[in-house]
Amino acid sequence: MHHPLRYRAHIDGLRAIAVLGVVLFHFGADWLPGGFIGVDVFFVISGFLISKSIYAETTEGSFSIFGFYERRMRRIVPAFLVVSAITAVVAVFLLFPPQLVSFARSLIWSALAFGNVYFYRRADYFGPSAEEMPLLHYWSLGVEEQFYLVFPALVMLCHRWRPKALPFVIGSLLLASLIACEAILRVDPAAAFYLLPFRAFELLIGAALALPGVRFPKNATVGGAAVAAGVGAVLAGMALITEQSPFPGLLALVPCLGTALAIWGGERSDSLVTRLVGSRVPRFFGAISYSLYLVHWPIVVFARPAFPEIDPLVFLVGGTAASTLLGWLSWRYVEQPVRQNRAIFPRRVVFGGTVAGAAVLITFAGITTGERGFTGRLPADVQHVLAQTHYPFQPILRDGKCFLRDGRGGARELAPECFPAGEPSIVLWGSSHLAQFYQAVAAAAKARGYSVGQFTGAACLPLEGFRNVPSPLCDGLNEFALDWLLKHKPAIVVLGGDALVSPDHLALLDKTIAKLTAAGIEVVVLGPVPMFKRPGPEIVAERMYRRDADMNAGQDMDDMVFTAEKLMTRHFAGHPDARFISVLEATCPQMKCPMMVGGEPLQYDARHFTAAGVDYYARPLAALIFGAHHAGSPAAAAAP
């Protein structure tokens, strides 16, 4: 028999802090840069409450795996199905076909409780941005549900064979997961963020706190101090941790241990602090926290393109208010009836409804994917533009040969054709933003009697001594490239990358340039290429659909482009060792960069050229790369 857990008001207060942190962060609260750690607070709370129930029932011999999953379904499934279905309907009307297909695929994986795996797989260099995925927040549901597929069985096995070993098993797994998370964070941050093995320690902290032997303070002073310190740690983390912080890893212990401390302090003691944390307003947000979490992110995703000019404060206040209202409606009319009314919703209805609801969502998603997002609902010219999001970029970048990505090995994988075949020669060294110039540079080089080399990799900044965590192959590629260049001394080396936006980057770049120059090599540095906030074809298609004739990037240009442009222009003004070429100045009149020319989009995603983009942007730049000095060389004199 299941014995309901005692209600803990202070835990609802912690839920309120967690969900409001996440919601405010997503609606643009700059003063709460670490609001996203609210998810970590949820993990610890979940691990504590659910483990406590499992331990109690296992000890008294009443634990039922079917009863356990029935309770999980009553808690999770109703709001999940309703919010997912409504989001899907809205997505059909608001998302363009490529976005809708991505949404449909994420819906399938999420309905199967593996949404986190899908989003990890999509977190690649050419993947969509977070703002395009209405179900991205479901990653945390995937982590939890995968954990509870394994954890009850683990507890039952320990109880049957080695009951006293349970604390040791949980502690060992907790430590192993934490160490693995910190280690993988250095080489694959997306895995550390999305995947269960590297997040399990957070749920296990809660599970460890719930162990039967743990003692809780009864003294109000001690308990209140613990609650205050724990809440303070969580709030400090929200204020000080940022998206650029190495997270989760060891830094996740700040919100996790803070949450555990607050739970521990308020479990048996009654203090003023505990009562404040569990007061009426926090209890309200804690009660609706699950539904509020579910509804808020689709609102963020759908509202941003619908109201591009909205005032940030209005977006923050209005979005939070709308999310709270919808979250309350979901809690009141979806969550509560299924959880409380077992006469109308008995076990067979819960299990059957879960299977049927998931089947409906998966069927819809399968049809949507098969129909490629229902492209037939759009005019033919718009369909043509959107089709460019599936552009075959491999030939432009020479992907897998001279442009390397994670999982493709290191510099040893460069194909023979990546090396210049004779002298004089020019070599491109950098990221995909430089790789896409290859065809234009090769044509200009041939006309001038030069051979061309290409040493490029995904997100690989051409910096000596720079460790690129998201793209670990860059370390070997850069080391190889610099050694090869200093040994073979090509006439020109062109450097370019997509994130040269800090003084530290430029300091490392200067060291690299100095070595190349000392070897007698001319160095050319390219400025940032046009980059957009979303895939170019989608922006263009939306404007075409709205009959907007303006095809310049405008507000859709990524702000990082202008930041990098200003920084690099200032840095290379009068630079003694390198020649800087501004891509924007050379190709974007009045800094207005076109996204489509002659009916063809110039980029297939947010930052990489189509063949039309190579013609428009890269070919004029190729002539500037060789410059006036090479126009007077013997090779150039023989060129047409």
Tens digits of residue pLDDT in 156-167: 999 888 888 999
Residues above pLDDT 90, as percent of the chain: 71
Q: Is the pLDDT of residue 1 over 70?
A: no
CA gap 113, 97 in Å, rounded = 24
Q: Return the sign of the alpha-carbon dihedral for residues 459, 465, 470, 474.
A: positive
Q: Are 257 and 251 in contact (CB under 8 A)?
A: no
CA gap 546, 378 in Å, rounded = 12
First to last CA, the chain: 89
CA gap 358, 352 in Å, rounded = 10
Burial class (CB in 10 A: 0-12, 13-18, 19+), 222: middle
Tens digits of residue pLDDT in 443-468: 999 999 999 999 999 888 898 877 76
DSSP 594: B
DSSP 234: H
Q: What is the dihedral of CA 371, 376, 380, 382, to 10 degrees?
A: -70
- Give residue 633's pLDDT band: very low, low, confident or very high (50, 70, 90): very low
Alpha helices per DSSP H over 289-399: 289-306, 312-330, 336-340, 347-370, 380-386, 394-397
- Give residue 20's pLDDT band: very low, low, confident or very high (50, 70, 90): very high
Domains of the chain by range and CATH? 9-142+217-243+255-374 (no CATH), 392-528+559-587+611-635 (3.40.50.1110)
Contacts of residue 170, Cβ cutoff 8 Å, sequence gap at least 6: 204, 207, 208, 211
Q: Which of 157-161, 323-327, 470-474 has the lowest mean pLDDT?
A: 470-474
Query: Which residue reads 């075409």 in tokens?
Result: 544
CA 546 vs CA 378, 379, 382, 540: distances in Å: 12, 12, 11, 10
Q: Which residues pair with 427 in a beta bridge?
A: 453, 493
CA gap 491, 425 in Å, rounded = 6
Q: Which of 1-15, 168-182, 230-244, 308-322 has the lowest mean pLDDT?
A: 1-15
Nearest by Cα to 533 from 554, 556, 553: 556
Query: Which residue reads 């003692």 in tokens?
Result: 215
CA gap 440, 426 in Å, rounded = 13
Q: Is the pLDDT of residue 219 over 70?
A: yes
Residue 8: predicted pLDDT: 86
Contacts of residue 81, Cβ cutoff 8 Å, sequence gap at least 6: 353, 354, 357, 358, 361
DSSP states of 514-537 as a string?
A: HHHHHTT-EEEEE-PPP-BSS-HH
Tokens of 640: 């047409």
Greater confidence (41 vs 307) lies with 41
Residue 531: CB atoms within 10 A of its CB come to: 22
Mean pLDDT of the chain: 90
CA gap 240, 31 in Å, rounded = 9
Please compute the mean of the pLDDT values over residues 70-86 and round it to a whole number. Answer: 96
Residue 317: predicted pLDDT: 97
Residue 499: predicted pLDDT: 65
Q: Are 366 and 105 in contact (CB under 8 A)?
A: no
Please compute the mean of the pLDDT values over residues 325-354 and round it to a whole number. Answer: 94
Alpha helices per DSSP H over 430-574: 432-435, 438-448, 473-488, 503-518, 536-545, 559-572
- Residue 66: enclosing H or E segment and its boundaries? helix 65-94
Tens digits of residue pLDDT in 167-192: 999 999 999 999 999 999 988 899 99
Please compute the mean of the pLDDT values over residues 572-598 and round it to a whole number. Answer: 92
- Residue 579: enclosing H or E segment and its boundaries? strand 579-581
Q: Is the pLDDT of residue 199 over 70?
A: yes
Contacts of residue 600, Cβ cutoff 8 Å, sequence gap at least 6: 388, 610, 612
Cis peptide upstream of residue 312 (ω within 30 degrees of 0): no
- DSSP-based three-state secondary structure for 277: helix
Residue 533: predicted pLDDT: 85
CA gap 582, 392 in Å, rounded = 27
pTM for this one? 0.76
Q: Are 571 and 358 in contact (CB under 8 A)?
A: no
- Give residue 412's pLDDT band: very low, low, confident or very high (50, 70, 90): low
Q: Which of 156-160, 295-299, 545-549, 550-554 has the lowest mean pLDDT?
A: 545-549
CA gap 489, 498 in Å, rounded = 25
CA gap 338, 80 in Å, rounded = 12
CA gap 432, 456 in Å, rounded = 7
CA gap 574, 254 in Å, rounded = 47
CA gap 339, 75 in Å, rounded = 7
Tokens of 522: 């001319």
